[in-house]
Amino acid sequence: MEIIEKAPAKINLGLDALYKREDGYHELEMVMASVDLADRLFFETLTENQIIIETDNSFIPVDQKNHAFAAAELVKKKFQIETGVRIYIEKRIPVAAGLAGGSSDCAATLRGLNRLWNLGLSNQDLADLGSEIGSDVPYCIEGGTAFVTGRGERIEKMPPMPQCWVVLVKPKMSVSTGSIFGSLSFNSIQHPDIPALKAAVMANDYDKMTQTIGNALEGVTIQKHPVVQQIKDRMLKFGADAALMSGSGPTVFALCDKKTRAQRIYNGLKGFCEEVYLVRTLK
């Protein structure tokens, strides 16, 4: 039997770092949303007691460094599963891009193995497991639009963000999340108005939402990688209603309520960066 799970990418409409906690993590407030760019994972039971990861992307590790492998290993250990599994990852989300591709693959693996092995686990059970692997995994279990706090483990579901077009642009580089948080200075940080953003999404107010999106990590990443600001400037020049870096970067997204403008941004950035995507938000 083969089971298939989709693993959607996420964007951060809002990301604020409040303080550094005693455990070394940062206390965060985020508004996150899923977009229609997704990996697909295929699961097949093996009689041999092993985990095999296969993928169409040569940059993806296929051992314990892969979040899907780590998820499968954790589930097998926790529930004493003695059969094996082959997981094929059809990769569409850019790697190390601030779009939670690895975390979403991990969440899809937990959902897929829950079905494959008839474990009967709730989404909260899966989120608790996922939090042992990565901070974004609990959100990725359900996806959609959510208010996320703590280091990422506390999830408050929200109504879907106002429907719009999203242009995603990833420059040809990767960013270390740890290095960005490590360079964060609370003396100079610009805190976005997360309560106002949350209220705008709750009210389905697209205009107010585009006025209140913000990312406290953006200044740090731009200082290290000025191309992020260049992409933002081009997006706004071509007519974006708003443009923002997602997560710790380097991917930048533009929001547009009109497809024609989104298409213009897509065309205008296609020559500037190789990885450009025109997608919709997910209901």
Binding residue per annotation — 37? no
Give me the pLDDT at residue 279, please.
98
Give me the pLDDT at residue 93, please.
97
> Has 10 been annotated as catalytic?
yes
List the pLDDT tens digit at each of the 283 positions of the chain. 799 999 999 999 999 999 999 998 999 999 999 999 999 999 999 999 999 999 999 989 999 999 999 999 999 999 999 999 999 999 999 998 999 999 999 999 999 999 999 999 999 999 999 999 999 999 999 999 999 999 999 999 999 999 999 999 999 988 888 899 989 988 889 999 999 999 999 999 999 999 999 999 999 999 999 999 999 999 999 999 999 999 999 999 999 999 999 999 999 999 899 999 999 998 7
CATH 1.10.10.10 is right for the domain spanning 165-280 = no
Looking at the DSSP assignment, which residues form a beta bridge with residue 52?
86
Helix (H, G, I), strand (E, B) or coil at 158: coil
Let me know how long the chain is.
Answer: 283
Contact of 162 with 45, CB cutoff 8 Å: no
pTM attached to this predicted model = 0.95
Instruction: Note whether 3-157 and 165-280 share their fold.
Output: no
Residue from 16, 39, 105, 136 carrying the catalytic annotation: 136
Binding residue per annotation — 102? yes
Give me the pLDDT at residue 1, please.
77
Question: What does the alpha-carbon distance between residue 44 and residue 25 come to, in Å, rounded to a whole number?
Answer: 36
Binding residue per annotation — 240? no
Contact of 162 with 172, CB cutoff 8 Å: no
Residue from 10, 76, 170, 198 carrying the catalytic annotation: 10
Query: Is omega for the bond preceding 250 within 30 degrees of 0, making it cis?
Result: yes
Binding residue per annotation — 107? no
CATH 3.30.230.10 is right for the domain spanning 3-157 = yes
**Residue extents of the structural domains in the chain:** 3-157, 165-280
Give me the pLDDT at residue 36, please.
97
